[in-house]
Amino acid sequence: MAKDLRSFLEDQQRCFPEEFLTIKKPVDPRNWDISAILEHLRRQGRFEITMFEQPLGMNGKPSPFRTLYNAFATRQRCADAIEFDREQWKMPLSEEFGRLEEQVVEPVTVAPGQAPVKEVVQRGEECDVGVFPGARYHHADIGPYFVMTMVLKDEEGGFYDISFAKNLYKGPRKVSASLTLPHLKRIFEQNEKKGKETPCIIVLGHHPAFYWGSLALTPFGNDDYRTVGAFLREPLRLTPSETWGSDFMVPADAEIVIEGVMPPGVREVQNPFGEISGHYQPQMLRPIVNVTAITHRHDAILQGVYPGHEAHYNLGAIPKEGSIYKTCKKLVPYVTAVHYPHSGCGRMSCYISIKKRQEGDAKRVGLVPLVESAQMQLVVVVDDDIDVFNETEVIWAVITNAQPSRDWDIIKNIASIHSWTEKVVIDATEPLDIPFPERIKVPEQALERVKLADYL
């Protein structure tokens, strides 16, 4: 049986039933009910996979669909999604992501009659995206959104690009398309210059490995359906779309697929929307999607991501950690670990540990994440006896090892997402060129000899 969201949920319920929560009472996602529940849980340190059984649709009527959150909210669960040992949730997990992003598995085609996502098919006037329980998450969000992935096909290159995107509900057959990420934007703008509309699909629920494959740091021109196969560890099953047939293939085992076209030269208002940085993304003009078809399972589950919180952070952090670790290793083999902490939203700060050989090693490594991503703001480099996944240890090293005038470098006039800014690299390794105090430690021999169980 092919992997899908249901097979993942069955595995999770069987192996970790205590990590699964069902909300049976009705909720109104347009009225912040879902984010309020997720926020209450979060404040208690709870990140169960949370299924809402009776949400209202974006049209205000009871939705026939369920909606699911927190599939990506813990690193252990992220490991489960790619069939990796959840106990190895620190650097080994990131390294595994880095390894998988270099692999491809060719997709296979199945007939529409064998595709669960085709159990219900609606075309043209029959379509109404308002039946789905998209949500409003933060107080100034302008309306309910879908927060999952869009797929575009590059006509000339013949490849599919899958990227996370958000879609604001604008009517029964219209949503916005944020197209913040550069690959989707590039395909749309190529078509727009030629006066052509851009076909697209929105995938609202699949096995989490489908989404991890979409996040691999692959170059423009990569066929992401092949990369998804590497993360699924089996071929992704595809089936012809309703709108374009085999000219645009869609994931056969998805929960819901919305097909549509983005007309050239059309922009409409979307946002404010509470985003990953913890601020509202401003109101802006963005392309729209005119819906041409909707296909879904009979009892489809709409998957969502609670924006600007743990699941959202992990989606950015883990693939980048693996990718940056590989890049650093090629340049400077003494790198031992890389972490993108939640305090930097999984994107804007990076902690790197190294086995330092000489002064200047830390600076050399510290520049790499700034080059890789325009979002990166702060890089801290520490010695390899510091656990970069333990922020208390990292900040201890900054406070006790680094001298700001010597070890903090401000990189001026460097490109950021919006324009240019200043970024910082901190060398928090112990200096080798001056006498320096020794770090305290309990002898390893004592830790091995004294077994805690013998004393409790």
Partner 1 sequence: MNMMADIFWVQCPKCQGRWYCEGDMKGVSNVVCPFCLHDFPQEESLEKVK
Which residues lie near partner 1 (CB under 8 A)? 140-143, 267, 269, 271-272, 277, 279-280, 282-285, 377-378, 416-424
Identify the sign of the CA torsion 265, 266, 271, 275.
negative
**What three-state secondary structure class fits 335?**
strand
Choice between 44 and 419, CB closer to partner 1? 419
Terminal alpha carbon distance of the chain: 48
Distance of closest approach, residue 366 Cβ to partner 1, in angstroms: 14
Rounded to a whole number of angstroms, the minimum distance from the CB of residue 61 to partner 1 is 19
Taking CA atoms, 123 is separated from 256, 287, 293, 448, in Å, by 14, 22, 4, 67
Distances (CA, A) of 248 to 152, 158, 242, 279, 437: 9, 10, 9, 36, 63
- The nearest distance, CB 413 to partner 1, in angstroms, is 12
CB 165 within 8 A of CB 150: yes
CB of 142 to partner 1, least distance (A): 4
Q: By C-alpha distance, which of 121, 100, 99, 124 is closest to 112? A: 121
Instruction: Please report how close the Cβ of residue 140 comes to partner 1 at its closest, in angstroms.
Output: 5
Assess contact for 395 and 378: CB atoms under 8 A: no
- For partner 1, give the closer residue by CB, 13 or 421: 421
Nearest Cα residue to 350 out of 94, 5, 144, 121? 94
Using the minimum distance from each CB to partner 1, give the nearer residue, 299 or 422. Answer: 422
Question: With respect to partner 1, which residue has the nearer C-beta, 304 or 344?
Answer: 344
DSSP 397-444: HHHHH--HHHHEEEEEEEE-SSSEEEEEEEE-SPPSSS--PPPP---H
Q: Which of 300, 257, 293, 259 shows the shortest CA–CA distance to 67? A: 300
Name the minimum Å distance from CB 281 to partner 1: 8
Residue 359 Cβ vs partner 1, minimum distance, rounded to whole Å: 25
- Please say which residue, 123 or 363, places its beta carbon nearer to partner 1: 363
Place of tokens 């900054």: 398
What is the distance between the alpha carbons of residues 201 and 132, in angstroms, rounded to a whole number? 16
Of 133 and 344, CB closest to partner 1: 344
Q: Give the residues across from 383 on adjacent strands.
A: 354
Contact 128, 173 (CB under 8 A): yes
- Nearest to partner 1 of 92, 143 (CB atom): 143
Neighbouring C-beta atoms of residue 16, cutoff 10 Å: 16
User: What is the chain's Cα-based Rg?
Assistant: 23
Q: Which is nearer to partner 1, 230 or 276 (CB)?
A: 276
- Provide, rounded to whole angstroms, the least separation between the CB of residue 425 and partner 1: 12
Residue with tokens 């401000």: 410
Q: How far is CA 283 from CA 58, 196, 225, 274, 365, in A?
A: 20, 26, 32, 11, 37
74's tokens: 């813990």
CB of 269 to partner 1, least distance (A): 5
- Identity of the residue, 260 or 274, whose beta carbon is nearer to partner 1 in the bound complex: 274
- Judged by beta carbon, residue 290 or residue 416, the one nearer partner 1 is 416
CB 272 → partner 1: shortest distance, Å?
Answer: 5
